[in-house]
Amino acid sequence: MKLTALVHQRLRQLVKPGDHVVDATAGNGHDTLVLAELVGEEGLVFAFDVQQAALENSHKRLEEAGLASRVRFFEEGHERMASRLPEPLHGRLTAVVFNLGYLPGSDKRCITRPDTTLAALRQAVRLLRPGGIASVLAYRGHAGGLAESIAVSAFFQRQTGMEVETQDSPGPVLYIATKSK
């Protein structure tokens, strides 16, 4: 099973209508769309990306599916998520999803970086509710990707109160961390 399909399967098991979730790296909107379907009309997806093209692609995908009203888009880095989410949602998110690397079909020099990703992961841990998940798909085959994947692995190894599953492949590695307390 593809790792993205595994993430979507886990999200379908966990995210319910009315939930609040974050797509920390909106990209072309594939995860954003799945999340928007799952949260229903009363839930909300907060989607972040630093590239305007990514947000345009995501918004178009959500518009075509009739689900754009379920998403709030932010043209800024995922390390800003805690400051953009309403305070009453802190500690109540069901899921935070990351796809690290670069936007397919764009400038491969514009990549996620360990410093901002680790800042975002620290926030994600605080924003999740008990039983919520942080899903991180780390692509290692581009410049900076291996270093970022190693930093993410080290981050999860130091976490207490998180149960972490790892799925490795020849390309990306998937971390699914469930908050226990």
pLDDT digits (tens, 9 = 90+) for 60-81: 999 999 999 999 999 999 999 9
Confidence of residue 48 (pLDDT cuts 50, 70, 90): very high
Token pair for residue 39? 């949260």
DSSP state of 140: -
Confidence of residue 101 (pLDDT cuts 50, 70, 90): confident
Q: What is the pTM of this model?
A: 0.92
Confidence of residue 106 (pLDDT cuts 50, 70, 90): low
Report the run of H or E that residue 9 belongs to, with start and end: helix 3-14
**How far is 158 from 161, CA to CA, in rounded Å?**
10
Q: What is the pLDDT of residue 110?
A: 56
Q: What is the pLDDT of residue 104?
A: 62
With the CA atoms of 96, 90, 73 and 52 taken in that order, what torsion angle do they form, in degrees rounded to the nearest 10?
Answer: -70
Superfamily of domain 3-179: Vaccinia Virus protein VP39 (3.40.50.150)
From the number of C-beta atoms within 10 Å of its C-beta (0-12, 13-18, 19+), residue 119 rates as middle
Q: Count of CB atoms within 10 A of residue 84's CB?
A: 13
Domain ranges of the chain: 3-179
DSSP 80-135: GHHHHS-GGGTT-EEEEEEEESB-TTS-TT-B--HHHHHHHHHHHHHHEEEEEEEE
CA 112 distance to own-chain centroid: 12
pLDDT at position 175 over 90:
yes
Confidence of residue 109 (pLDDT cuts 50, 70, 90): low
Confidence of residue 52 (pLDDT cuts 50, 70, 90): confident
pLDDT at position 46 over 60:
yes
Nearest CA-CA partner of 104 in 138, 54, 170: 54
